[in-house]
Amino acid sequence: MSTTLAPDAAPPAGLTPPTKPLLTPGRQRLVAVIVASALFMQNLDGTVIATALPAMARAFHEDPVHMNVALTAYLFAVAVFIPASGWMADKFGTRNVFRIAIAVFTLGSVLCGRADALWFLVVSRVIQGLGGAMMLPVGRLVLLRSVPKDRLIAAMAWVTIPALVGPVIGPPVGGFIVTYFSWNWIFDINVPIGVLGFTLVSLFIVDVREPDPGRFDFGGLALTGAALAGFMGVLELAGRGLVAPVVVAGLALVCAVASTLYVRRCRRQTRNLLDLSLLRLPTFAVSVCAGSLFRIGIGATPFLLPMMIQVGFGRSPAQSGMITFASAAGAIGMKPATQWVLRRFGFRSTLAVNALLCSAALGACAFFRPSWPLAAIYAVLVGSGMMRSLQFTAYNSVAYAEVSRARMSAATTFYSALQQVSLTIGIPVSAGVLQLARVAGHHAMPTDHDFGLAFLAVAAISALAAPVSLLLPRGAGREMSGYTGANG
């Protein structure tokens, strides 16, 4: 992966970009659906397990609080190994790495379902994380190398749906399985999906690789892994009382030192796992920065909304699941209109205006009360899901508008790593605000008002994406959207 600091133009001397796969529109849609199905398995698994942790704690004779390590072990593995995904795809081919990622994730799921102790579960979750770290960036890379840019928006709309639907339906699915079957089944349901995904990838995904990916940067992997794992460790552990404050401070120091050393390393060499020179591309830089702010707010919703409905409103997990599913329905319903909106208004105007609309819808959740008619709550959530789907698809597409084919693997690796981190930030931020509001109000349990303050806080963070989106060049991504106006 080249990391030249010059503007993105031709690939470096001696490198020939891979031949563009010639796929029919029908085959392109099939590839998009296959990638989306694999990512859906990953997104669903990440939220299903949270519902099952109390039952697993009883089975392992562990304190439920200690079961949090099953979540953080997966997140750490993903954070550490995502930077290696681009090089592996260049070296061994996108099809090979993608199906291996599915196989490893599925194997980890099988082992999780067989766990009889917490340490066994943690090791199995790390194996899952190895597969998950490759699945997201390489799955996106499969699309970027299989679909021309003028069809990328439609393809990305399919990939956006799992990220929106998985976290919403995960809790009710997990609750149903744990209640009526066994917690083991939350992992075993991944097996048929994984086997099908592996088979479809083998049959229909074109294998593309770079002629010369260079030597693997082990030093870069150590530094990026330490920085990302340290950062996510601080987010997961700060203020929760699970470890001593000195441990959190140590993780923060590790993150700061590793990040500084990695930036200095990037200035001294031309091949790096995370290509910081991509930030010189305006569309990529704005999509990364604005998209990260937007995802911080949106990432809190799967945590805040079900808890507010169950704890604040006193509804059952099943009722909560049916209510929160409304946003997933909105996300799916928006897919056919996404291309039209971007063609009519362009990326710049759409992202700026829609960021404000999404933030307003997120803020509206702060005023939900048990007395609200369900129809009104559904209307807000469906509309919010539609706008989120549009925003995610637009960010995920315009980020690659100026990226040459030779640097696609570097771009997907960088983008996926920051996407993973930004989505994770929303949960501890919202949990922290919720805790502060509860303590300030001397409430034994969070009230509607406490949840409202948490929603307003993350909505304000998401709204910051609007002015940042205006930094996009006018007419950015015309090749993708087909926009012909002057101000988009």
Average pLDDT of 278-298? 91
Structure tokens that stand for 83 in this block: 């930077």
pLDDT average, residue stretch 310-328: 74
Segment among 2-6, 36-40, 172-176, 358-362 with least mean pLDDT: 2-6
For residue 168, the model assigns a pLDDT of 64
Domains and CATH numbers, the chain: 25-217 (1.20.1250.20), 279-488 (1.20.1250.20)
Mean pLDDT, rounded, for 248-277: 86
* Of 161 and 225, the one with more pLDDT: 225
What percent of the chain lies above the pLDDT cut of 90? 20
pLDDT of residue 9: 37
Contacts of 144 (CB under 8 A, 6+ apart): 152, 400, 408, 412
pLDDT value, residue 13: 35
**Confidence check: pLDDT of 312 > 50:** yes
Report pLDDT for 63. 67
Residue 11 confidence class, pLDDT cut points 50, 70, 90: very low
Asked if residue 187 has pLDDT above 80, the reply is: yes
Q: What single string gives the DSSP state of each residue in 176-213?
A: HHHHHS-TTHHHHTHHHHHHHHHHHHHHHPPP---S--
How many helices (DSSP H) and strands (DSSP E) are in the chain?
18, 0
Residue 18 has pLDDT above 50, yes or no: no
Please check the confidence at residue 406 and state whether its pLDDT lies above 60: yes
Mean pLDDT for the stretch of residues 99-106: 92
pLDDT for the residue numbered 387: 92
Asked whether 255 and 227 are in contact (CB, 8 A), the reply is yes
Give the range among 110-124, 129-143, 449-463 with minimum mean pLDDT: 129-143
Residue found by looking up tokens 């109390």 in the block: 54
Q: What is the mean pLDDT of residues 243-266?
A: 88
Buried b (16+ CB within 10 A) or exposed e, 272-288: bbbbbbbeebebbbbbb
Residues 189-208 have a mean pLDDT of 85
When pLDDT is averaged across residues 345-358 and rounded to a whole number, the result is: 94
Radius of gyration (C-alpha) of the chain in whole angstroms: 22
Checking if the pLDDT of 125 tops 80, the result is: yes
Higher pLDDT: 165 or 434? It is 434
Using a pLDDT cut of 70, give the percent of the chain over it. 86
Q: Determine the average pLDDT of the residues in 118-139.
A: 87
With 0-12 / 13-18 / 19 or more C-beta atoms within 10 angstroms meaning exposed / middle / buried, residue 428 is buried
Residue 311 is classified by DSSP as I
Using CA atoms, how far apart are residues 466 and 18, in angstroms rounded to an integer? 36
Q: Backbone phi, then psi, for 443, in 5-degree steps?
A: -100, 130
* pLDDT reported for residue 51: 65
Q: Cβ contacts of residue 444 below 8 Å, gap of 6+?
A: none
| Placement of tokens 């992966």 in the chain | 1
First-to-last C-alpha distance (Å) of the chain:
32
